[in-house]
Amino acid sequence: MEQTKKVVSEAEAIQMLRQYNEDLLPKKFGIIGKSWAAFLLIVFLTGVYCYTNQLRQGLAITGMRDYVFWGIYISNFVFFVAISLVGSLVTAVLYLMNVPWRAPLTRISEVIAVAAIVFAGLIIIVDMGRPDRILNMFIHGRIQSPIVWDVLVVTTYMTLSILLLYFPLLHGIAFCRDNLKGIPKWQKWMYKILSLGWKYKTEQYNVVKKAITILSVMIIPVALCIHTVTSWLFASTYRAGWDSTNFGAYFVSGAFLVGAGGVIAGMYLLRRFYSNYDRYLTDHHFDRMGKLLVLLAVVYGYFSINEYLIPAYKMKGEEAEHLHELFTGYYAPMFWSVQFFGIILPIIVLLFKKGRKPLPMFIMAICVVVGAWFKRYLIVIPTMSMLPVQEIPEDWKHYTPTFQEWSITCGSLAGALLIITFFVRFFPIISVWEIAEERGIDHDTIYKHLNESNEK
């Protein structure tokens, strides 16, 4: 590691730092940014409005009924938990492995993780029949129930993720505090409070680095736990399609894949809308992330084969019925599209060097993320129509999400994107000091440079 570091002369370093700071300070949105935020806000608020309807009328406004009793709220929850795992992948795993190209990607992945896990928590409350009784979880909570495990690990992961986003950000907030000119008073206050009196001192960096190392070690098992426990919500039942010992690994591997897809999409969009970002999110980074995505897709493909091939070999009663529905029945078009666009096509495209250029990578990343959302739909919903369905109204047998249900679900997705969007607007999305460090500039130089610029 030490050998790969370039040694930079002081003058050169200060030149580079000045450049970084200029490039990476958060900027005001242009017309595209503003309309994007407005669009998200409208979708989000429509979802909130529909949720107030649901609070009044109950879950009757959804398409769920006694046979298909978990719908897109739950599959969306699984999706959120899945995509939030990327925080631990890029920030923690790549950090501990000393992967040199990770620095500009950490904050993108961490903010995706925080936004997703916050909305995972919210959407699961939306799914509750009696959200007013949520405190019962603490008053009467039973540790034997996987739901209680899920609450414990999701809140733990949320805390660790927020800290892992916040500690490395202190430098950035302080820098905004000192260098952003002509900003409203509240924004100045926000930076002042959030920067916790950061003074760019070497001791402070050392404390933060120590904290990042500890958090990175802690967050990896917790990340594995959140998605494994989420898979157990299904695997701990007797139902065909859920009753599988493969579920934990299957879910975790799928989660890393969709998370990597999310980060690539974020990288591309940032590069597209901020002119100087291609200096930091270079083709090299796309190339590396592309290779990582192929690896993750292959691993996920492996667990998917495990998940479907062995039951398909046995064709046991209810399992057979379930697999027929997926392979050739009602869900077949969705099932095969998801497998093809979500796993197979990205592997093929990204194996070629030309495929690992930003634009094709972006398209593949969108395929992976959208495919992953529908994959969760296919994991959650078809299983529930496998029980004796007699004596129930015709429309209970099939599940079609209602408009309000879609609206609430889209609202949650828009909400998560809003968190990311506002974050990009107000905070540096690429970590200056980590990049400086990656490129061989030591703390003393950073410190000197910043104090100089502050004195001016």
Partner 1 sequence: MSKKIKDNNDDDKKRPTTEEGTDRRNFLKLGVFAAGLTVAGAGLQKAFSTEKDSGEKTKVLTTDGKVVEVDSTQVKGCQSCCTSRAESREGIPNKKWVMVIDLSRCKDLLKCQHACQKYHHLSGMNVWLKVFRMQDAEKTAPYWMPKPCLHCDKPPCVKVCPVSATYKRSDGIVLVDNERCIGCRFCMAACPYATRSFNWGDPELLSETTGECYSPEKGFPQKKGTVEKCDFCPDLLRQGKLPHCVAACPNGVYYFGDLTEDTVTNGDETLRFSQLMKDKSGYRLHEMLGTEPSVYYLPPVNRLFPFKEREKEDANKAK
Contact residues for partner 1 (CB under 8 A)? 57-62, 64-67, 69-70, 127-131, 133-134, 136-137, 139-142, 144-148, 151, 233-234, 236-239, 242, 384, 387-388, 390-394, 396
Nearest to partner 1 of 232, 280 (CB atom) = 232
Minimum distance of partner 1 from residue 158's CB (angstroms): 18
HEC assignment per residue over 232-283: HHHHCCCCCCCCCCCHHHHHHHHHHHHHHHHHHHHHHHHHHHCHHHHHCCCH
Minimum distance of partner 1 from residue 438's CB (angstroms): 45
Backbone angles phi, psi at 135, to 5 degrees: -65, -20
Nearest to partner 1 of 112, 151 (CB atom) = 151
* Pick from 374, 383, 303: nearest CA to 335: 374
Minimum distance of partner 1 from residue 351's CB (angstroms): 39
Nearest to partner 1 of 1, 143 (CB atom) = 143
Minimum distance of partner 1 from residue 338's CB (angstroms): 22
Minimum distance of partner 1 from residue 55's CB (angstroms): 10
Minimum distance of partner 1 from residue 303's CB (angstroms): 22
Nearest to partner 1 of 33, 146 (CB atom) = 146
**In terms of C-beta density within 10 A (0-12 exposed, 13-18 middle, 19 or more buried), how is residue 84 classed?**
buried
User: Which region, left, alpha or beta, applies to residue 357 given φ > 0 means left and ψ of -120 to 50 means alpha?
Assistant: beta
Answer whether 331's CB lies under 8 Å from 323's CB: no
Question: Side chain identity at 366, as an amino acid letter?
Answer: I
Distance of CA 177 to the CA centre of its chain: 28
Q: End-to-end CA distance of the chain, in Å?
A: 36
Nearest to partner 1 of 147, 366 (CB atom) = 147
Nearest to partner 1 of 35, 57 (CB atom) = 57
**In terms of C-beta density within 10 A (0-12 exposed, 13-18 middle, 19 or more buried), how is residue 153 classed?**
buried
